[in-house]
Amino acid sequence: MRLPLIFSAWSCCLPALAALTLALSAPNVGAAQNECGEGGADIVRKAYPSATQTSNEAFEFAGATIKLPKSGDDDPHAMLCRAWPARPELTLVAVPLMTKQSDDGNEGDIELLVVDTAGFEVRQRLRLPGLMTDDALYVSNIAFDTARYHLAPKNTAFGLRLSLHGSSGPNPFGETTLWLFLIKDGQIKPVVDNIVVARNQGEWDTNCAGEFLETVRTLSMKPSESGAFADILVSEKATTTISRVGEGGECLSTETTTTAQHRLPYEASAYRIPEDLKRID
Q: What is the 3-state secondary structure (H, E, C) of 222-278?
A: ECCCCCCCCEEEEEEEEEEEEEEECCCCCEEEEEEEEEEEEEECEECCEECCCHHHE
Q: How many CB atoms lie within 10 A of CB 57?
A: 16
Q: What are the helix (H) ranges across the chain?
A: 6-13, 18-25, 29-33, 40-47
pLDDT of residue 17: 39
Burial of 258 (0-12, 13-18, 19+ CB in 10 A): exposed
pLDDT of residue 281: 67
pLDDT of residue 167: 87
Mean pLDDT score, 249-268? 95
CB distance 184 to 153 below 8 Å: no
- Condensed to tens digits (0 to 9), the pLDDT of residues 136-177 reads 899 999 999 999 999 998 899 999 999 999 989 999 999 999
- Condensed to tens digits (0 to 9), the pLDDT of residues 204-221 reads 999 999 999 999 999 999
Adjacent-strand bridge partners of 215: 199, 238
pLDDT of residue 44: 98
pLDDT of residue 6: 34
Confidence of residue 74 (pLDDT cuts 50, 70, 90): confident
Burial of 154 (0-12, 13-18, 19+ CB in 10 A): exposed
CA dihedral 9, 12, 17, 19 (to 10 degrees): 100
- Condensed to tens digits (0 to 9), the pLDDT of residues 78-102 reads 999 999 999 999 999 999 999 999 9
Give the whole-angstrom CA distance, residue 11 versus residue 245: 16
Give the whole-angstrom CA distance, residue 93 versus residue 2: 24
